[in-house]
Structure 1
């Protein structure tokens, strides 16, 4: 069987040293830097700019006018991630000039005009909607959903299964499974719909509800949270309680 050839528009600029898998598709007027690696199944629409040490895993799709990386940046994009128009990932220098690696997990969906700064880590299966800004060193665990026009300020962690409402400003860590919104964002309760979609065991959901009331019902009780993390055998409860115990809440 003949090897598939990359479908690359003649207007594309590819610097010497770039690694392009045989079946990659690259549309008009893209720029691919010398330290970029595009693995099999990737598609770039028109006017995409990729620079720096950038590894794009299998079957990633990048839409028009997205910009990723600088000359000295280090970025990894996980497989089957979709990155929509005008998104910027690591395109800006950090305030102190330090190079901070950006890791975007697998199966993520980044909508238009998303901006991700240095040191950000994004877990798998996250949805970052339009015009969201993640400042330096923000960490999002898996299955996080962030509503449009929201901002997560630097050095904060968003736990697994969190849903952040649109136009919110997040200024602190958000524990797993929470529903938050507002400027500034506050916890409104549990993301129950998200829990029902992820968990088949209704008993787990009820236990999470009970622990939530104990450790976050009237402010964060970090001492009780640590006790629960040390003694409760349920891994979901351990994850929630240990997060609260070590958070900046």
Structure 2
């Protein structure tokens, strides 16, 4: 009996579940009825795979990850350029993926679709190939992320949103429900609409996250220069760099805008 098989024997696997011999499960993993754990999957300690969930192949779960009923992780990327390369899904510790969510493997572009630690993906969320999510992210029911989307730490995306491929969502940003996100959403802001528009700083979120008042004050000024003045975006960034204290969060806000390839919603 191989080491992997020995580990699986010790885990709590329902008799109706199907677990590939190449999968590696920590000693206390739970796998529910009719769940499927496919080839080259690794499941960390304390993780739970609910009934009828599927890990198709090449999925790495951290510790204490929960996968809800009917969720499907590690499916082939829905990309016509995909030619069967070995690609992966990686999910960080303490992340919860709820019922019927789907997370596809990456392509040769970045190889791996990644979700960080302490994330919460609610029911019917879809993450396409090559998405990269940071830590402490919440994505609400029915939201769909196209390929190559990047979401930074502690962003919140409300329900029934659609995020265009290659778009970026900055850290601590909040996106309201039913929004169509076709451009980048800067860090620390509130955004909503079809197409998405910006509505000031995510002040409540920043307060809850313990941001100091001087940081919030400088971020508000940076936001006004860039999005609520007579200056164009590059002029606003230039004025902010000239007049504001370049705190790390202010610098990140400006760098995110400067690095945008899809443009930034106003």
Q: Same fold (TM over 0.5)?
A: yes
- Residue 109 of structure 1: aligned partner: 120
Residue 109 of structure 2 contacts residue 130 of structure 2 at CA under 8 Å; is this kept in 1? no
The within-5 A match list for 1:1-249 is 5-70=10-75, 72-90=86-104, 100-218=111-229, 221-225=233-237, 228=240, 232-247=245-260, 248-249=263-264
Query: What SS does structure 1 have at the residue aligned with 2:46?
Result: coil
CA displacement at 1:24 relative to structure 2: 0.3
| Separation in 2, partners of 1:134, 1:220 | 29
Residue 37 of structure 2 contacts residue 57 of structure 2 at CA under 8 Å; is this kept in 1? no
* Residue range with higher mean Cα deviation, 42-51 or 221-230: 221-230
1:170-219 CA-to-partner distances (Å, cap 9, x unmatched) read 00011101100011111111111011112341111111111110112147
TM-score of the pair, normalised by structure 2: 0.86
CA displacement at 1:127 relative to structure 2: 0.5
* Residue range with higher mean Cα deviation, 103-112 or 182-191: 182-191
Query: What SS does structure 2 have at the residue aligned with 1:69?
Result: strand
| Distance change (3 Å), C-alpha of 1:99 and 1:210 | closer
Residue 229 of structure 1 contacts residue 239 of structure 1 at CA under 8 Å; is this kept in 2? no
CA displacement at 1:52 relative to structure 2: 2.2
| Separation in 2, partners of 1:200, 1:110 | 25
Aligned residues: 244
1:113-163 CA-to-partner distances (Å, cap 9, x unmatched) read 001100100110010000000000000000111111101010111000110
Residue 84 of structure 1 contacts residue 111 of structure 1 at CA under 8 Å; is this kept in 2? yes
CA displacement at 1:5 relative to structure 2: 3.3
Runs of 4+ in 1 over 2 A off after TM superposition: 70-73, 97-100, 226-233
Ranges in structure 2 where 5+ consecutive residues have no aligned partner:
1-6, 77-85
* Residue range with higher mean Cα deviation, 188-197 or 220-229: 220-229
| Distance change (3 Å), C-alpha of 1:62 and 1:220 | farther
Query: What SS does structure 1 have at the residue aligned with 2:207?
Result: helix
Residue 90 of structure 2 contacts residue 114 of structure 2 at CA under 8 Å; is this kept in 1? yes
CA displacement at 1:233 relative to structure 2: 3.0
The alignment's C-alpha RMSD in Å is 2.2
| Separation in 1, partners of 2:145, 2:87 | 17
1:75-113 CA-to-partner distances (Å, cap 9, x unmatched) read 10000000100001007x97xx97842000000000000
